[in-house]
């Protein structure tokens, strides 16, 4: 753990990140809101990966060791919040819905973090009120700890379009379908189909950030048809992949 950077105060700032750029594992004594107004952001901890397009932000609790990964050209906005405040009352990383008002508040606050005016203080107070009211919209890919489960997850991460069932995957990983079914629930807190759908949505967000056509995204992520992909994407994010691309 000695190579993990420790920055006591979580920075509040806006910055640009090129496609594929990353920020290595680090931690803060403060909470942090991490928001990408352009591109797709992935935040990874020991518990898994949280993914946020431009309609989502990620809450990172104080003390959480985490790293950032940019997919597409990223406009990153970071907001530090003192550990004693915790307006959300959350102790684990969480993906939050970002509506138009919260988006503009985050942009304004992080682009002038050194502004000590009363107006800026009022803006921050409204921002915190909006955070308290915003719904949680998880796009979380939990990380497995069991080696057999990890082997299955690694196969699917290498090829999200792999359509093999648990019996076939388990034969290669050295575990029965029954054992893997139990492990998905016990270790990851979701069923195998739920985890695979989350993986495919995660990869779809990456590909869309790289300006991959929607039809190609559907094929590369394993959906049976483009319409099936659009339907799952709309239910997960509230808009179509085409609308998502325009939101970037």
pLDDT tens sequence across 120-173:
999 999 999 999 888 877 678 888 999 999 999 999 999 999 999 999 999 999
* Chain CA centroid to CA 213, Å: 21
Place of tokens 């056509």: 213
**pLDDT of 4-47, one tens digit each?**
888 888 889 999 999 989 999 999 999 999 999 998 999 999 88
- The structure tokens listed for 231 are 């339907």
**pLDDT of 71-85, one tens digit each?**
989 999 999 999 988
Q: Does domain 5-140 have CATH number 2.60.120.810?
A: yes
Q: Where are the domains of the chain?
A: 5-140, 144-247
Q: In the chain, where do the E strands start and end?
A: 5-7, 13-17, 22-28, 31-45, 48-52, 56-60, 66-81, 94-97, 140-142
DSSP3 helix / strand / coil % (the chain, rounded to 5): 40, 25, 30
CATH of domain 144-247: 1.10.10.60
Place of tokens 């034969």: 171
| Predicted structure pTM score | 0.81
């Amino acid at each position: 753990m000695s190579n993990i950077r420790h920055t006591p105060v979580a920075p509040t700032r806006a910055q640009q990140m090129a496609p594929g750029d990353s920020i290595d594992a680090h931690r803060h004594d403060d909470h942090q809101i991490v928001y990408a107004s352009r591109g797709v952001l992935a935040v990874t901890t020991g518990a898994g990966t949280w993914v946020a397009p431009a309609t989502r932000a990620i809450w990172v609790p104080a003390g959480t060791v985490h790293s950032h990964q940019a997919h597409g050209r990223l406009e990153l906005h970071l907001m530090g919040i003192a550990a004693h405040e915790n307006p959300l009352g959350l102790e684990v990383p969480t993906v939050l819905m970002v509506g138009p008002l919260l988006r503009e508040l985050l942009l304004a606050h992080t682009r002038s973090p050194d502004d000590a005016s009363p107006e800026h203080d009022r803006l921050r107070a409204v921002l915190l009120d909006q955070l308290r009211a915003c719904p949680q919209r998880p796009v979380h890919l939990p990380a497995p700890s069991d080696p057999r489960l990890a082997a299955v997850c690694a196969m699917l991460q290498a090829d999200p379009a792999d359509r093999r069932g648990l019996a076939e995957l388990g034969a290669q990983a050295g575990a029965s379908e029954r054992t893997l079914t139990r492990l998905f629930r016990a270790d990851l807190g979701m069923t195998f189909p739920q985890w695979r759908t989350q993986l495919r949505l995660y990869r779809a967000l990456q590909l869309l950030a790289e300006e991959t056509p929607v039809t190609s995204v559907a094929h590369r992520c394993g959906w049976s048809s483009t319409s099936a992909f659009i339907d799952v994407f709309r239910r997960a994010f509230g808009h179509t992949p085409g609308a998502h691309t325009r939101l970037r």
